[in-house]
Amino acid sequence: MKMESEIIFGEMLNYFRKKNNLTMEELGEMMGKTKSAVSRWISGDNYPKVDDIEKLTKIFNTDVQTLVFGGNQSNKTNIQNLYDQLTPPRQRKVYTYAEHQLDEQNNTIHESSSIYLVGATAAGAPLEYSQLNAEQIQTEIPHGADYALTVKGDSMEPLIEDGQIIFYREQSTVENGEIAIVELNRNEVTCKKFYYNGEHVVLKSINDKYEDIVVKDDVRVIGKVII
């Protein structure tokens, strides 16, 4: 099984080779290697010796970190340093945002698919159903989404922005902490993080300036948001 570093190195080597307009044979001649040896480095089937890596950095005028890891280690260090400077509540926000970004990345996206935009949902004060109008739109759709909504308000920022189109899967239940489209008082709809403690429902915003909404009855989950 190929190591991740071998795969990254092969991709970076091929990137620099093409950037410098070199064929594998030409690069091999500069390195004192065969075309086959260069090809095996690029495919990840073989890995160069330390001396060869140093020679490659001189040919491409780059550093070992970038050539071998694509600069990822430096980026990870910078991200970690920024994260460590945040207060715990802000760290939780960053973690939640990153988690949703990973979910979005892992979802299958279909180009130019059709879905019903059924109106707007509040990310602030709940909207009445009278403000909802359905129309069919062409857009990229996350795997598993049934409908789309336009967000009005900033209570779910920075994850969900005012005016953003979000997608949801139609379902009547969600797990605690998941973002849901929720019906309130039988005539209002909102987008919040959903929690149920056995007695009442708590709808939480991501934006700290909004207070929790505590609901004991007249609440119904319409669907789970797919970021």
Give the tens place of pLDDT for each residue, 99-124: 766 666 665 444 446 666 666 666 55
From first to last of its 227 residues, the chain has per-residue pLDDT tens of 444 444 578 888 988 999 899 998 999 999 999 988 898 888 877 888 888 888 999 999 988 878 877 765 555 656 677 778 888 888 877 777 777 666 666 654 444 466 666 666 665 555 544 445 567 777 777 778 888 888 888 898 888 888 888 889 989 999 998 999 998 877 788 899 999 988 889 999 988 889 999 988 778 898 999 87
Give the tens place of pLDDT for each residue, 4-36: 444 578 888 988 999 899 998 999 999 999 988
Burial of 13 by CB count in 10 Å (0-12 exposed, 13-18 middle, 19+ buried)? buried
Active-site residue, 152 included: no
Number of H helices, E strands in the chain: 7, 10
Choosing from 93, 152, 155, 205, the catalytic residue is: 155
Domain boundaries, given as residue ranges, for the chain: 4-72, 110-226
pTM (2 d.p.): 0.50
Choosing from 33, 93, 152, 192, the catalytic residue is: 192
Fold classification of 110-226 is Umud Fragment, subunit A (2.10.109)
CATH superfamily to which 4-72 belongs: lambda repressor-like DNA-binding domains (1.10.260.40)
Active-site residue, 192 included: yes
CB-based contacts of 23, cutoff 8 Å, min separation 6: 17, 35
